[in-house]
């Protein structure tokens, strides 16, 4: 009886070790995938910025980071900061509205009987807000560009064309941009 119990204990220990190894391998694999996803996300954000700069549109944060290099005046800096804050506030409000409408749609769909016209109304409301966000974003980028002088725009153009730009080099190495512009609005 003791030998049988000892054998069962050894089998149980081996089984638990195998389970622990499988869980560990799963956690490690999942962590690697998350790291890869974060890296791809960061890379896509950088591609998005290049899409914008290739089309002479510049995000306010980027312009403020290089303000000394392009000779931004205090008045220009203040204007761009105000544009940025206004855009951020609009984006936060709009994102909140989208989340609320998506939750209402989910509750509606789970309720059982679904009226397709009602469902379509929810979807159109959500799509309208997303479209308004895109239009507002492009207007914000155009306003930032309009705040710059022709000379500053020329400096930005020269900076974006530098061949030793590490982001552009990485983009070429990864082969991610194969003659197709990256989408102008990441996540949409």
In a domain, 186, yes or no: no
Residue 33 lies in domain: 2-174
The segments of the chain whose pLDDT lies below 50 read 177-183, 186-188
The answer to whether residue 8 is domain-embedded is: yes
Q: How far is CA 69 from CA 49, 76, 128, 152, in A?
A: 18, 14, 39, 9
Number of domains within the chain? 1
* The pLDDT value given to residue 36: 60
In a domain? residue 187: no
pTM of the model: 0.62
Residue 77 within a domain: yes
| Whole-number average pLDDT of the chain | 78
104 Cβ partners below 8 Å, 6+ apart? 122
Which residues, 6+ apart, have CB-to-CB distance to 80 below 8 Å? 60, 63, 64, 72, 144, 147
Residue 181 falls inside a structural domain: no
């Amino acid at each position: 009886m003791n030998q049988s119990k000892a054998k069962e204990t050894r089998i149980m220990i081996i089984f638990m070790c195998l389970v622990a190894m499988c869980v560990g391998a799963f956690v490690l694999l999942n962590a690697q995938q998350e790291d890869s996803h974060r890296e791809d996300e960061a890379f896509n954000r950088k591609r998005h910025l290049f899409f914008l700069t290739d089309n002479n549109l510049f995000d306010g944060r980027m312009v403020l980071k290089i303000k000394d290099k392009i000779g931004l005046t205090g008045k220009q800096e203040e204007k761009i900061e105000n544009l940025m804050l206004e855009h951020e506030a609009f984006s936060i409000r709009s994102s909140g509205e989208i989340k609320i409408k998506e939750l209402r749609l989910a509750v509606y769909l789970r309720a059982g009987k679904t009226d397709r016209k009602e469902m379509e109304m929810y979807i159109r409301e959500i799509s309208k807000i997303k479209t308004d966000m895109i239009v507002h974003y492009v207007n914000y980028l155009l306003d930032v560009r309009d705040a710059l002088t022709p000379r500053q725009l020329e400096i930005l153009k020269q900076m974006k064309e530098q061949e030793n730009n590490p982001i552009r080099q990485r983009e070429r190495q990864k082969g991610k941009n194969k003659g197709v512009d990256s989408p102008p609005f990441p996540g949409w």
